[in-house]
Copies of this chain bind each other. A is one copy, B any other.
Amino acid sequence: MVISRKMPPRRQRILDFLQEFYLENGIPPTVRDIQKACEISSTSVVDYNLDRLVEIGYIRRRPDVARGIEILDGGGQPVSNAPRVQIVGAIAAGTPIPAWSTETSESSQEFDTVEVAPELQHQHGKLFALKVNGTSMIDALIDDGDVVIIKPSDTASNGDMVVAWLKDEEEATLKRFYREGSRVRLQPANSTMNPIYCSADNVEVHGKVVSVIRQLD
Copies in the complex: 2
User: Is A73 an interface residue, CB under 8 A from the partner?
Assistant: yes
**A208: nearest chain-B partner, CB-CB:** B216
Interface size on A, residues (CB 8 A): 44
In the complex, residue of chain B having the shortest beta-carbon distance to the beta carbon of A66: B66
Tell me if A26 counts as interface (CB < 8 A to partner B): yes
A35 CB to closest chain B CB, in angstroms? 15
Q: Is the CB of A27 within 8 A of B30?
A: no
B138:A190 contact, CB within 8 angstroms = yes
Q: Is the CB of B138 within 8 A of A77?
A: no
Selecting from A4-12, A50-58, A89-97, A115-123, the interface stretch reads: A115-123
Residues of chain A having any CB pair with chain B under 8 Å: 26-28, 30, 66-68, 70, 73, 75, 77-83, 114-120, 122, 135, 138, 141-143, 160-161, 189-191, 208-216
